[in-house]
């Protein structure tokens, strides 16, 4: 319990630090929001006036306080390019991205765990080489390259999946999944590599242990030994790695959603960055970092639930 | 030594050597104008004797652009990783060696930065500073720093507890001397391994940034830019995407394999 409480306290502190970092990064810019609203050719007096109204002449600390205060009270401001409340934009796009995040993680785990177990069971045989080569190929190709290949093969040549766009799952669930499938697959391939390696190495360690020998000696089937006895003990570190990859995933969705024109968080972040929509940049960057941090916390707690040994420590 | 000659290790070394050679020699052997020379009669031409890997939408030879692109990719990756070492090494060493409050504060900051996906951090820095070659390097370098600092800190913490460091401290040696003469040489292997793997990630990051238009800018022969340009002609001319994609893949693959070999040689504990 103390552990959980400590973690929660550290979450609040980290969230605060995330706001500081976000604010700092977005304020190293030479231009400012007023310039972005009115353009570089605008009348200096009007520009000065707008700066005054937007409070850009206030000390940095005051501006920071106003930004954080606004977020705490739900006043996230408006996006400069979309001319819409940022909170509304975010809530829509987060739903869209969560589909991709969940699907790509499921694809990655669904492929990596069997592949890793397979390699561990047939250690140092050809199966092991096949598995490690596949894993290496997965990390070595940029995921947007996979994305392009998939557009070419599955969308253009075979015509099985749409090559771009987003469909709201509440309108048509099947169509929504179809639109999310190719970007998820491309992302999943990139994620798969580390997960396969991790599964292989923890599984190799577990399979060499005494209790596995005992299980075999008892006459349990090889399937039960590997999948039930072995994997249950090996899955913990794999889940930890999967949790850490959430961060990587949220970086990659920026590229992938832009490539597939899938209007989620990644796409929104990209539009914000491309158009230097400062309020939107701040909001998206903060939200992504916060989500990554909270996911990592969740994974830690999940790990705690799966593996009782940790609780004692 | 047996491991050193494993087929995977050998392939890694050959690939890295080959790519480094291309990166160094291509700009010396190919005149720079060749990269932007347009052959309007042969736009999006398939691979042929004239253009071994075909041409792009402006009739530029893809083989030449891919070869010249290696220099740009390597230059960006190497400089960016150097930046992350220059910032991350002292941070991590101080944090791990001194421990206590300094460590707490520094690592809290590093952990916060780690909550920002590296690519997001790099994209944001590049967008805010204005995308160009120099800012791409800065963006990737800064984005990778927290990862390096974390690893250096772990290593420095380990070395700081070694008996020889304790002995040096008891003998009244200054911290600066211990850090530079005892800690640094002993954490160097881990840093070299990490740097090699970071290089692979930096190549991918540069390609990603350029692909999104927030990295190197046209008409530079950058692999990421080439892949981006190919998007509109994918069906008609898939080679425009495949050639630079393969270049990225081979480079990253080589660096990853090379990194594994280095780890086995330099860091026997990881076995």
State the pLDDT at residue A234.
81
Summarised one tens digit per residue, pLDDT across range B131-176 is 889 999 999 999 999 999 999 999 999 888 889 988 998 898 888 8
Q: What's the mean pLDDT in B77-98?
A: 94
Q: What's the mean pLDDT in B45-73?
A: 81
Return d(Cα B261, Cα A136) in angstroms, integer: 14
State the pLDDT at residue B172.
87
Domain B62-270 has CATH 1.10.3720.10: yes
State the pLDDT at residue A176.
84
State the pLDDT at residue A313.
45
B1's enclosing H/E stretch is: none
Which of A136, A276, A290 is closest, CB to CB, to B127? Answer: A276
Question: pLDDT at residue B2 above 60?
Answer: no
Q: Which residues in chain B are closer than 8 Å to A21, comparing Cβ atoms?
A: 112-113, 116
Who wins on pLDDT, A199 or A45? A199
Question: pLDDT at residue B3 above 60?
Answer: no
Task: Give how far Cα A214 sits from Cα of A14, A166, A211, A228, B242, Å.
Answer: 46, 52, 5, 14, 51
State the pLDDT at residue A308.
66
CATH number at A206 reads 1.10.3720.10
Half-sphere exposure of A251 (CA within 13 A, CB side): 26
Range of the domain at A305: 88-312
Contact A142 B230 (CB under 8 A): no
- Would you say residue A51 lies in a domain? no
Return d(Cα B25, Cα B22) in angstroms, integer: 5
Contact B117 A28 (CB under 8 A): no
Q: What's the mean pLDDT in B76-99?
A: 94
The segment with the largest mean pLDDT, out of A156-160, B24-28, B75-79, B219-223, is: B75-79
A203-207: which pairs have CB atoms within 8 A and are 24 or more residues apart? A203/A116, A203/A117, A203/A120, A203/A121, A203/A230, A203/A231, A203/A234, A204/A120, A204/A123, A205/A234, A206/A230, A206/A233, A206/A234, A207/A120, A207/A121
State the pLDDT at residue A285.
92
- Would you say residue A164 lies in a domain? yes
Return d(Cα A17, Cα B147) in angstroms, integer: 17
- Would you say residue A13 lies in a domain? no
- Find the chain B residues whose C-beta atoms sit closer than 8 A to any C-beta of A: 108-109, 111-121, 123-125, 127-129, 200, 204, 207-208, 211-214, 224, 227, 230-231, 234-235, 238, 241, 245, 248-249, 252-253, 256-257
Which of A29, A258, A281 is closest, CB to CB, to B212? Answer: A258
Say how many C-beta atoms besides its own lie within 10 A of residue A24's C-beta.
Answer: 11
Rg of chain B (C-alpha set): 22
Contact B253 A18 (CB under 8 A): no
Q: What's the mean pLDDT in B196-206?
A: 91
State the pLDDT at residue A30.
59
State the pLDDT at residue A39.
66
- Would you say residue A103 lies in a domain? yes
State the pLDDT at residue B271.
45
Who wins on pLDDT, A190 or B83? B83
Q: What's the mean pLDDT in B210-227?
A: 87
Burial class (CB in 10 A: 0-12, 13-18, 19+), B30: middle
Segment among A113-117, A127-131, B209-213 with least mean pLDDT: A127-131
Half-sphere exposure of B20 (CA within 13 A, CB side): 11
In the structure, what pLDDT confidence band is assigned to residue A256 with cuts at 50, 70 and 90?
A: very high
In total, how many domains does chain A have? 1
8 Å CB contact between A54 and A33: yes
Contact A148 B227 (CB under 8 A): yes
The strand pairing partners of A85, in sequence order, are A78
Contact B211 A252 (CB under 8 A): no
Segment among A81-85, A175-179, A219-223, B34-38 with least mean pLDDT: B34-38
Return d(Cα A142, Cα B229) in angstroms, integer: 16
Return d(Cα B176, Cα B214) in angstroms, integer: 40
The strand pairing partners of A78, in sequence order, are A85
In the structure, what pLDDT confidence band is assigned to residue A310 with cuts at 50, 70 and 90?
A: low
Q: Which residues in chain A are closer than 8 Å to B235, comparing Cβ atoms?
A: 152, 156
Where in chain B are the domains? 62-270
- State phi, psi for B61 to the nearest 5 degrees: -70, 120
Return d(Cα A288, Cα A93) in angstroms, integer: 12
| pLDDT > 90 fraction of chain B, expressed in percent and rounded | 28
- Would you say residue A39 lies in a domain? no
Which of A156, A273, A289 is closest, CB to CB, to B234? Answer: A156
Contact A142 B245 (CB under 8 A): yes
How many helices (H) and strands (E) are present in chain B, helices listed first?
11, 0
In the structure, what pLDDT confidence band is assigned to residue A209 with cuts at 50, 70 and 90?
A: confident
Q: Which residues in chain B are closer than 8 Å to A248, comparing Cβ atoms?
A: 117-119
8 Å CB contact between A134 and A221: no
Alpha-helical runs (H) found in chain A: 2-26, 33-38, 44-54, 60-72, 86-121, 126-140, 143-150, 173-207, 210-217, 222-223, 231-259, 265-274, 278-306, 309-312
The distance of A223 to chain B (nearest Cα, Å) reads 28
Who wins on pLDDT, B6 or A67? A67
- Would you say residue A185 lies in a domain? yes
8 Å CB contact between A281 and A86: no
Summarised one tens digit per residue, pLDDT across range B229-261 is 888 887 788 888 888 988 998 999 899 888 888
Contact B120 A151 (CB under 8 A): no
Question: pLDDT at residue A227 above 70?
Answer: yes
| pLDDT > 90 fraction of chain A, expressed in percent and rounded | 15
- Would you say residue A38 lies in a domain? no
Contact A142 B235 (CB under 8 A): no
In the structure, what pLDDT confidence band is assigned to residue B1 with cuts at 50, 70 and 90?
A: very low
In the structure, what pLDDT confidence band is assigned to residue A248 with cuts at 50, 70 and 90?
A: confident
Question: pLDDT at residue B209 above 80?
Answer: yes
Q: How far is CA B10 from the centre of its chain?
A: 20
Alpha-helical runs (H) found in B49-179: 62-98, 100-114, 118-129, 133-160, 163-170, 175-178
| pLDDT > 70 fraction of chain A, expressed in percent and rounded | 93
Residues with Cβ within 8 Å of residue A213, at least 6 apart in sequence: none
Q: What's the mean pLDDT in A16-28?
A: 86
Question: pLDDT at residue A35 above 70?
Answer: no
Q: How many residues are given for chain B?
A: 271
Q: What's the mean pLDDT in A33-47?
A: 70
- Would you say residue A60 lies in a domain? no
């Amino acid at each position: 319990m103390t552990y959980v409480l400590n973690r929660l306290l550290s979450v609040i502190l980290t969230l605060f630090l995330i706001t500081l970092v976000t604010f700092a990064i977005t304020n190293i810019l030479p231009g400012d929001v007023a310039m972005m609203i009115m353009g570089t050719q605008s009348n200096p007096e009007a520009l000065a006036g707008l700066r005054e109204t937007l409070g850009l002449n206030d000390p940095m600390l005051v501006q920071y306080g106003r930004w954080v205060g606004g977020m705490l009270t739900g006043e996230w401001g408006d996006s400069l390019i979309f001319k819409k409340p940022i909170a509304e934009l975010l809530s829509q796009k987060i739903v869209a991205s969560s589909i991709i995040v969940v699907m790509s993680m499921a694809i990655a785990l669904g492929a990596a765990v069997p592949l890793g177990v397979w390699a561990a069971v047939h250690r140092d045989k050809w199966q092991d080489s096949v598995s490690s080569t596949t894993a290496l190929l997965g990390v070595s190709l940029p995921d947007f390259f996979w994305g392009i290949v998939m557009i070419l093969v599955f969308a253009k040549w075979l015509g099985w999946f749409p090559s771009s766009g987003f469909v709201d799952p509440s309108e048509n669930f099947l169509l929504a999944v179809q639109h999310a499938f190719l970007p998820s697959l491309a992302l999943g391939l990139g994620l798969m590599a580390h997960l396969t390696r991790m599964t292989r190495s923890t599984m190799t360690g577990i399979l060499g242990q005494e209790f596995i020998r005992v299980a075999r000696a008892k006459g349990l089937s090889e399937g039960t030994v590997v999948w039930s006895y072995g994997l249950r003990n090996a899955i913990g570190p794999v889940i930890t790695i999967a949790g850490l990859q959430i961060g990587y995933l949220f970086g990659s969705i920026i590229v992938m959603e832009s490539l597939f024109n899938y209007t989620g968080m990644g796409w929104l972040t990209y539009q914000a960055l491309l158009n230097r929509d400062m309020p939107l940049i701040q909001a998206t960057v903060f939200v992504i970092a916060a989500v990554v941090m909270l996911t990592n916390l969740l994974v830690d707690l999940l790990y705690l639930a799966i593996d009782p040994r940790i609780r004692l420590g | 030594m047996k491991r050193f000659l494993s087929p995977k290790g050998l392939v890694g070394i050959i690939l890295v050597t080959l790519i480094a050679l291309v990166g160094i020699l291509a700009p010396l052997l190919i005149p720079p104008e060749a990269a932007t020379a347009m052959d309007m009669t042969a736009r999006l031409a398939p691979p042929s004797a004239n253009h071994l890997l075909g041409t792009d939408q402006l009739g530029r030879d893809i083989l030449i652009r891919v070869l010249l692109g290696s220099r740009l990719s390597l230059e960006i990756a190497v400089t960016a990783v150097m930046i992350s070492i220059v910032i991350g090494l002292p941070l991590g060493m101080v944090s791990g060696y001194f421990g206590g409050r300094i460590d707490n504060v520094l690592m809290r900051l590093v952990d916060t930065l780690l909550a920002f996906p590296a690519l997001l951090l790099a994209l944001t820095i590049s967008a805010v500073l204005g995308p160009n070659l120099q800012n791409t390097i800065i963006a990737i370098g800064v984005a990778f720093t927290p990862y390096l600092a974390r690893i250096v800190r772990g290593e420095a913490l380990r070395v700081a507890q070694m008996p020889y460091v304790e002995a040096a401290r008891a003998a009244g040696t200054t911290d600066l001397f211990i850090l530079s003469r005892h800690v640094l040489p002993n954490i160097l292997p881990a840093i070299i391994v990490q740097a090699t793997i970071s290089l692979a990630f930096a190549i991918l990051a540069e390609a990603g940034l350029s692909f999104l238009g927030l990295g190197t800018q046209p008409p530079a022969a950058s692999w990421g830019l080439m892949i981006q340009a190919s998007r509109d002609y994918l069906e008609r001319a898939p080679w425009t995407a495949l050639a630079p994609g393969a270049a990225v893949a081979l480079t990253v693959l080589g660096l990853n394999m090379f990194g594994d070999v280095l780890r086995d040689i330099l860091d026997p504990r990881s076995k």
